[in-house]
Amino acid sequence: MTHFYRFDDVQIDVRNFRISKAGKVLQVEPKALNLLVYLVENCGRLVEKRELLDAIWNDAFVTENVLTRAIAQVRKALADDPKNARYIETVPTLGYRFIAQVQVEENNPAPSARPAPSESVGPPELAGTRPSARPGTLPAPQRNDRRLPSFALPILGVVACGLLVALAFSWRPRLQYYRPG
């Protein structure tokens, strides 16, 4: 079963891992496309930054800057202005929400074919339903609890520097004072 997500003139082909806008294939990095698919599959729900990092970069130690960069790449490809968002809404310091109404298609009908209204999903106030896990979508991410919190690396750096300074002072040769006789 092949899945296509459609919103406005954008279509995401999950099986072939491709995104197109107005019939033109867009070039985005794989992580950015995974991020978009994850947001679309959680349409209308606030997805916190930590959840996105775990879902998309599950085994890598990355900072929120990587997430911000991927969101910016998706917005640029979709021509979505963060100040007047049509697709991805930013919830400051918390995360992101996909806000466009999404249509889920099981196969790739002709662009003129419209899916039935019951296939339409979007924010709860628009469609009344949220997308659920469907066969053929990307597998659900596994949570990785081995990741260090984002503030841990600078703290570890300061502790390591302190230990080096303390070690340097403890190993320096002791000066012996000469007292003439």
List, run by run, the mean pLDDT of 10-residue segments along the chain (181 residues). 82 91 91 93 92 86 88 93 92 92 74 44 44 39 49 78 79 65 61
Q: Distance (Å, rounded) from C-alpha 47 to C-alpha 143?
A: 14
Q: What is the pTM of this model?
A: 0.60
- The domains of the chain, with CATH numbers, are 4-142 (1.10.10.10)
pLDDT recorded at residue 158: 84
pLDDT recorded at residue 138: 39
pLDDT recorded at residue 169: 74
Range 129-145 burial, b when 16+ CB lie within 10 A, else e: eebeeeeebeeeeeeee
- Token digits of residue 143: 């949570």
pLDDT recorded at residue 44: 92
pLDDT recorded at residue 176: 63
Q: Distance (Å, rounded) from C-alpha 55 to C-alpha 58?
A: 6
The secondary structure element, H or E, covering residue 65 is helix 64-78
